[in-house]
Amino acid sequence: MGPLPTPSRRARRLLAHYGLTVAAVVVLVFALPRAMPGDPLAFLRADNPESVDPAVLHDLQAYYGLDRPLVGQLGHFLARLGHGDLGISIGRRVPVRDLLQAHLPWTLLLIGASLALSSVLSYLLGCAAGWRRGRPLDRLVVMASSAVRPIPTYALASLLLLGGAVTGRLLPLGGARTPFAHYASPFAEIADVARHLVLPVTALASALVASQVLLVRNTMVSTLGQDYMVLARAKGLPLRLLQHRHAGRNALLPFVTSVGLQAGFLVGGAVFVETVFSYPGMGTLVLRAVASRDYPVLEATFLALALVVLTLNLFVDLLYGRLDPRARTG
Amino acid sequence: MTRATGLRSVVAAVAFALVAGACSTSTEPPSAPAQGDGRVERVRVAARPGSYPTPIGARRQGQLQSTLLFDTLVWKDSTGDVIPWLASSWARSPDGTEITFTIRDGVRWHDGMPLTVDDVVFSYQYLMKPPGQAAAGILGAVFVGNLQEVVAVAPDQVVFRMKRPWAPFLPQIAGIVRIIPKHIWETVTDPIAFTGPQATIGSGPYKLESYDLATFSAALVANNDYFLGPPHVRRIEFVPAADQLLALQQGDIDAADAGTEDQLPENALAPFLQDPRFGSVGGPPEWNRALHFNLTKGFPFDDKRFRQAVAYAIDRDDMVKRILFGQGVVGSSGGLSPASPWIAPDLPPYAHDGAKADALLDQIGLKDADDDGVRDLPDGRPFVPELQTSAQFSPKTAELISEYLRQVGLSVTIRTLEAAAADDSAFAGTYEMTLLGYGALGGDPDLLLRVRHTPAAINLPQKSKGYDNPEVVALGEQQLFTADDSSRLATVQQLQRIVAEDLPSLSLYLPEPQLIFVKDVFDGWYLTPGGFGTVLSGALNKHALVTGKKVGF
């Protein structure tokens, strides 16, 4: 058996792993849009018919680098990317960077709020249910999560939308903020954004809680039977310490792993939720770009979403190391 | 801070944010103040996807907005006729090869600089050569090849000299090319990348106040130095709205389009039409769904008797009832809108007639050879043509056609493609029969009759693939290069008769557009016959917003 890897070696290995993944993602985001049938310049001709005049079409193709062979296009894409240039949207006539700046923060807010809310709720509810195994709270948590889990995110979002429509104007049914609103104070602005966030976050977080609360509960149940828990109880430690420091921390490990695994689901779910609630995040941007085969936007959005997932995974990997000392050396 | 208290703080913060958000009162936009001078303070319409409102190559909502920020030499009012705009008048030379425009005096750009004839000349020249030509996609090779020069001949006059007269010059060129400020654009070498505040400085009746890339919401404010005086509507807001009718009902917008085939559920409009707060205005139907045959696919698609048989087999009156709930009309066999001023009066109607369809199919040898109830090819092989359709439009159309054709012994396979793939296939001509949806049927007939049926002209999805009739090509040129309006009408009508007989495509039905609006906010709306700008239809004609009138200033 060789020497145990040092923390820095682990970090290097982790970075190399993520570096390779990012490289593969970059090639994929270039190739995927081009694998779809359809022409990114096609949508121009509906509004500007003469843009398909052979005399001008060539200029347009050359401008977007679409006249080159695929390898040339890939080189052009990589060179642009190297300079931090994401190109110009074909359908929207604005720099893709500006589009990302307009859309990405909303998705990060939606994902961040959903992740924070669902993690806290899953952990607290799961711990409480596991601790009180077989009691009414436990049965309620198990039943509720079993009922919510099979519902697809978009269906859940649609149900919430219907519910919101029935209850009138209590909560906004779409958008991320009131258009053209003049806010009296920064707090009013935050409150407005939060009101718009309630339904989308509820939809996305419910799905996450439903899938994770059982995991925490089950881990908690199995942890409670461990020898060290028996010892801790025998030592007469306070309940709160037993629940969270001893049982909870051990239940946290598989939970954190699952949060990492859920990152992809979270981003995918956000796309559906954003569509249902007309939330102006990356989902609506991606869907429109797919419909119009807007290659520069597709490349940038796929890349940005993949980086969000990878960053979440990396964060979880690093967090895992902090939570479980064995992972730091093993 | 211990981990436990940290956790509690996070829970408290998230809970607070959500509860505070849920409990706080709605932050409504400021309501429209009373109208003191008779002008309308604000009009809100639904924001729709589109490009940034640049004057060069904008798309959809961006293109519409750019007509409010920029001006053209001429425009259209509610009659659909061309009216003076930046040009106060124009004159054609007797042979039609020269058109002289007199530009209004005292017009200023949004930045205060005066608009001159040099700006007009520059704007056209910018769009006729790279990089402006490709970026805009308005002036094609045929027009540019025909134009000899555009020059200023007086401080207020611009002349266009052409090799041959260009019949639709006023609506299709002078009514489309936005005049852009030379002092800004002369240094712009990359018009596609040129966005931002400078790119929207025009001479139009509105200025761009705000634009949100994420939601397409935008606010346009009146240009009070406008050459026609301060616009009647002071402010136009494009508001995000997932469902227009719902948004109208909830008071989020002041007018809603209700005119495409998917927006016509039975009785959906009834609550608005019965409510005295709302008004409605209709317009000529100009968007259609059409069945296109690909003549390059050989027999029987290249035999006009097959295409006529299909036309007789399809019950288009029934389609209007079933798909449009009666709120539309059957398409004209000549391809133009039945309401077009260019329509030929005596075209074959191809009214539903199964017996005629049967007879024609028998005539060309498509008979049921094996008694299975389905017609086969003359050599006995089964004939199962493919009918392509786009997921973008109503699926009922393909299903109904399949049923009508089954009744005359034709079995079709329906192939539904995602919108962009369907568009690509239509463009490339990889279908046998396809259903398409397109508009501009009420505008100038050049696109529909010449471009669509001339093999050498630009390719479009709605092009009649493989249709090559030398007489049509010659008449197409004849109607384009003429200065005589009455002879052009005769040529256009003759073209329709030939096309209706050859039937490379069949216009199925056209929904009747309708606009529902809140009367108290603004009731000057109209839908412009033939559209305005490039191929725009809809209610936001700046003539209505600037003057508050249906005609005149």
Whether A59 and B447 lie within 8 Å, measured CB to CB = no
Give chain A positions within 8 Å (CB) of B11. 120, 124
User: CA-CA-CA-CA torsion for A253, A257, A259, A261, nearest 10 degrees?
Assistant: -170
Whether A45 and B460 lie within 8 Å, measured CB to CB = yes
**Average pLDDT over chain A, rounded to whole?**
84
Closest-approach residue (CA) in chain B for A40: B420
Give the other-Cβ count within 10 Å of B185's Cβ: 20
Q: Which residues contact A62 (CB under 8 A, 6 or more apart)?
A: none
| Region of residue B495 (left: phi > 0; alpha: psi -120 to 50; beta: else) | alpha
Gap between the terminal Cα atoms of chain A: 12
- Burial per residue of B299-327, b for 16 or more beta-carbon CB atoms within 10 angstroms, e otherwise: ebbbbbbbbbbbbbbbbbeebbebbbbeb
Whether B21 and A197 lie within 8 Å, measured CB to CB = yes
- Which among B17, B134, B192 is the nearest to A194, CB-wise? B17
Residue A151: per-residue pLDDT: 86
Q: How far is A40 from chain B (nearest CA, A)?
A: 9
Q: pLDDT confidence of A220, banded at 50, 70, 90?
A: confident
Task: Please tell me the distance from the alpha carbon of residue B272 to that of residue B504, in angstroms, as a whole number.
Answer: 40
User: Please, which residues 434-473 of chain B have a Cβ atom closer than 8 Å to chain A?
Assistant: 438, 447, 451, 458-461
Instruction: State the greatest distance between any 2 C-alpha atoms of chain A, in Å, as a whole number.
Output: 86
Task: Please check whether residue A197 touches B, CB under 8 A.
Answer: yes
Give the other-Cβ count within 10 Å of B433's Cβ: 24
- Written as one letter, the residue type at B262 is D
Number of CB pairs, chain A paired with chain B, less than 8 A apart: 222
Whether A117 and B451 lie within 8 Å, measured CB to CB = no
User: Please, which residues 102-141 of chain B have a Cβ atom closer than 8 Å to chain A?
Assistant: 130-131, 133-141
Residue A7: per-residue pLDDT: 60
Q: How far is A76 from chain B (nearest CA, A)?
A: 17
- Which among B140, B417, B427 is the nearest to A50, CB-wise? B140
Q: Is residue A311 predicted with pLDDT exceeding 90?
A: no
Mean pLDDT in residue range A161-185: 81
CA angle B303, B304, B309 (to 5 degrees): 105
Closest-approach residue (CA) in chain B for A197: B18
For B189-194, the CB contacts below 8 A with 24+ separation are B189/B131, B190/B131, B191/B54, B191/B56, B191/B57, B191/B126, B191/B131, B191/B132, B191/B135, B191/B136, B192/A63, B192/A88, B192/A93, B192/B56, B192/B57, B192/B131, B192/B135, B193/A88, B193/A95, B194/B54, B194/B56
Q: Which residues contact B122 (CB under 8 A, 6 or more apart)?
A: B180, B182, B185, B186
Q: How far is A136 from chain B (nearest CA, A)?
A: 23
Q: Tell whether the torsion through CA atoms of B337, B339, B340 and B344 is positive or negative.
A: positive
User: pLDDT under 70 in chain B at which residues?
Assistant: 1-36, 259-267, 535-536
Helices and strands of chain B, counted as H and E runs? 17, 19
Task: Please check whether residue A176 touches B, CB under 8 A.
Answer: yes
**Axis-axis angle for helices B3-23, A96-131 (nearest 10):** 120
Give chain B positions within 8 Å (CB) of A116. 10, 14
Q: pLDDT confidence of A327, banded at 50, 70, 90?
A: low
Whether B57 and A36 lie within 8 Å, measured CB to CB = no
- The alpha carbon of B390 is separated from its chain's Cα centroid by a whole number of angstroms, namely 18
- The alpha carbon of B21 is separated from its chain's Cα centroid by a whole number of angstroms, namely 41
Closest-approach residue (CA) in chain B for A121: B11
Residue A130: per-residue pLDDT: 85
Task: Please check whether residue B26 touches A, CB under 8 A.
Answer: yes
Mean pLDDT in residue range A300-327: 81
Whether A120 and B239 lie within 8 Å, measured CB to CB = no
Closest-approach residue (CA) in chain A for B462: A46
Whether B461 and A106 lie within 8 Å, measured CB to CB = no
Q: Tell whether the torsion through CA atoms of B410, B415, B419 and B424 is positive or negative.
A: negative
Give chain A positions within 8 Å (CB) of B14. 113, 116-117, 120
Q: pLDDT confidence of A321, banded at 50, 70, 90?
A: confident
Residue A249: per-residue pLDDT: 74
Task: Please tell me the distance from the alpha carbon of residue A220 to that of residue A211, in angstroms, as a whole number.
Answer: 15
Whether B137 and A51 lie within 8 Å, measured CB to CB = yes
- Which among B210, B217, B420 is the nearest to A291, CB-wise? B420
Residue A179: per-residue pLDDT: 87
| Region of residue A59 (left: phi > 0; alpha: psi -120 to 50; beta: else) | alpha
Closest-approach residue (CA) in chain A for B246: A165
Residue A51: per-residue pLDDT: 67
User: Please, which residues 13-72 of chain A have a Cβ atom closer than 8 Å to chain B?
Assistant: 36-39, 42-57, 59-60, 63
Whether B134 and A50 lie within 8 Å, measured CB to CB = no
Residue B255: per-residue pLDDT: 95
B473: exposed, middle or buried (Cβ count in 10 Å: 0-12, 13-18, 19+)? middle
User: Please, which residues 360-399 of chain B have a Cβ atom closer than 8 Å to chain A?
Assistant: none
- Which among A57, A99, A195 is the nearest to B213, CB-wise? A99
Instruction: Report the relative pairing of strands B288-293 and B328-330 from DSSP bridges.
Output: unpaired
Give chain A positions within 8 Å (CB) of B193. 88, 95
Whether A179 and B52 lie within 8 Å, measured CB to CB = no
Q: Which residues contact A10 (CB under 8 A, 6 or more apart)?
A: A321, A328, A329
Residue A329: per-residue pLDDT: 54
Mean pLDDT in residue range A69-94: 91
Q: What is the pTM of this model?
A: 0.87
Q: What are phi and psi of B477, to 5 degrees?
A: -65, -40
Give the other-Cβ count within 10 Å of A128's Cβ: 18
- Which among A38, A44, A278 is the nearest to B137, CB-wise? A44
Q: pLDDT confidence of A117, banded at 50, 70, 90?
A: very high
Give the residue among A189, A176, A193, A180 at the shortest CA–CA distance from A283. Answer: A176
Q: Is residue A227 predicted with pLDDT exceeding 90?
A: no
For B80-84, the CB contacts below 8 A with 24+ separation are B80/B341, B80/B442, B80/B528, B80/B529, B80/B530, B82/B170, B82/B171, B82/B174, B82/B175, B83/B543
Task: Please tell me the distance from the alpha carbon of residue B364 to that of residue B82, in angstroms, as a whole number.
Answer: 47
Question: What is each CA distance from A204 to A120, A160, A163, B20, in whole angstroms?
Answer: 14, 11, 16, 20
Residue B18: per-residue pLDDT: 40
What's the half-sphere exposure (Cβ side, CA atoms, 13 Å) at B546? 25
What ipTM goes with this model? Answer: 0.81
Whether A42 and B424 lie within 8 Å, measured CB to CB = yes
User: Please, which residues 174-193 of chain B have a Cβ atom closer than 8 Å to chain A?
Assistant: 192-193
Give chain B positions within 8 Å (CB) of A168. none
Q: Structure tokens of A114?
A: 């959903």
- Look at the block and give the residue holding tokens 């936009």: B29
Residue A6: per-residue pLDDT: 60
Q: Which residues contact B294 (CB under 8 A, 6 or more apart)?
A: B301, B429, B431, B432, B433, B434, B465, B466
pLDDT digits (tens, 9 = 90+) for B72-100: 999 999 999 999 999 999 999 999 999 99
pLDDT digits (tens, 9 = 90+) for A241-293: 777 777 777 777 788 778 777 777 888 889 889 988 889 999 889 988 998 89
Whether A194 and B212 lie within 8 Å, measured CB to CB = no
